[in-house]
Amino acid sequence: MAARSRPAAALEPPTSASFKANVDYYFDRAAATLRLPEGLLHQIKACNNVYLVQFPVKFGNRYEIFRGWRAEHSHHQKPLKGGIRYAANVNEDEIEALAALMTYKCAIVDAPFGGSKGGVAIDARKYAPEQLEKVTRRFTAELIRKNFIGPGVNVPAPDMGTGEREMAWVADTYDAFHPGGLDNMACVTGKPVSQGGVAGRTEATGRGVQYGIREAFRQADDLKDLKLSPGLEGKRIVVQGFGNVGYHTAKFLSEDEGAVVVGIGEWDGAIYDPKGLDVSKVGAHRNKKRTIRGFPGAKTFDDPASCLEFQCDLLVPAALENVITEKNAGRIKAKVIAEAANGPTTARAERILLYRGIFIVPDIYLNAGGVTVSYFEWAKNLSHMSYGIMEKRKEEMTMNKLVSNTERLTGKAFPKAEREELVRGAEEIDLVRSGLEEVMVRAYQEIREVWLRRKAVTDLRQASFVVAIEKVAKAYMELGIFP
């Protein structure tokens, strides 16, 4: 596997730290292996629309001016899909890059959306909830004004700095502008379940990362050169970023898969314990102290980036883009890097990592769990029907008869707990998890097949972009836009 992971030298990675420049490089590197019309490739790569807005919000007797963006990368499928990010340093380059990744990500998992992304330059930690509500509602109004939001137009979701609370405000604002709209709740996903959300959406990205990593670690042939055995049991893991995605990823990998989380990094430091960290207890400590620093039994490091260089089998960057660069790529000790964040590895860093034989499971695939479950929520809102409600009781009656007949014929009874589990009909959360796992497993196998079968494709990221480009190209050609 290490030999297959060495990148081709045809394209030189960008020297720029621009997030978009790195995404464009990955696109070009994959496109170079395909026989598609040049004009079609330009259309797929280009960002169709970018809306920049500056808007005032009144807090008491003063006004603050905020800057926000919404990028629409591709309209080959409609509506468009992508989160809204609240971060002090968000900018147009970042929003365009994230919108492009959303296009490719949706294509990889066969979610019927074009790619989009939004953001507001704000440090949400410095504002009270009622202030954030004002900002969110005003930004939503600006998107409505320019037709950059709607169930069949453009459907936002949570991203860094936002969550189900903000999405509920977005939905309510949209509904106020469109009274009586039957499908208004489908204008945004990631809402609370009580407001039209779907069970499992909050942890969906982390759950998808779990399923993707699990599938990667099932491939014995791919792990041979890394001197790793199949499965995640006992594997040492470091997670960089302990927000929604990082926390749930660490929790699921340790509790469900038997992995040992030895290190966690956050914005203000990192902690390490070779014997393993109890993720739930670290989360409780963070919630109480507002920091992971000083967690009992663990060594605290002042430098947040130090966790990237901890000794481990698997490194999961789950925070910001461009955290693994050519400056620290040579010091990474992990054998596998699983990118839960968007764009955590620069192109120049990736070249170093691949040359060293480090296996990378790319962001464009791995963190697609969020948009996959957002698809489930959007479809639920349009159907006005909760998943499982029609078949749950029928399922339970059928399974109860089957189990009862089995007990009668064998003369033996199932243990009570096992019997209850066997006859229980599927709830919405069960169906959501089942659907998400199916999507993540199927997508990984499709990407891996391209990586293994096409000689010009040297790594999983390039394979992922190849899969995405071919699917988007097919959509454009079937629309008749390109012959």
- Give catalytic residue positions: 117
Query: DSSP letters along 183-204, please?
Result: TGGGG--S--GGGT--TT-TTH
Residues, the chain: 483
**Residue 367 structure tokens:** 């963190």
Which of helix, strand or coil describes residue 414?
coil
| Long-range pairs, 411-420, Cβ under 8 A, ≥24 | none
Closest CA to 28 of 7, 49, 59: 7
Q: How far apart are the first and last CA of the chain?
A: 38
**Residue 276 structure tokens:** 């393993």
Sign of CA dihedral 262, 213, 353, 267: negative
**Residue 73 structure tokens:** 């990368």
| Alpha helix ranges (H) inside 257-343 | 279-289
How far is the C-alpha of 327 from the C-alpha of 349, rounded, in Å? Answer: 8
| Alpha helix ranges (H) inside 13-73 | 19-31, 38-45
How far is the C-alpha of 315 from the C-alpha of 308, rounded, in Å? Answer: 7
Sign of CA dihedral 73, 76, 80, 81: negative
How far is the C-alpha of 80 from the C-alpha of 71, rounded, in Å? Answer: 10
How far is the C-alpha of 178 from the C-alpha of 144, rounded, in Å? Answer: 10
Sign of CA dihedral 452, 454, 459, 463: negative
HSE-up (13 A, CA, CB side) for residue 280: 4
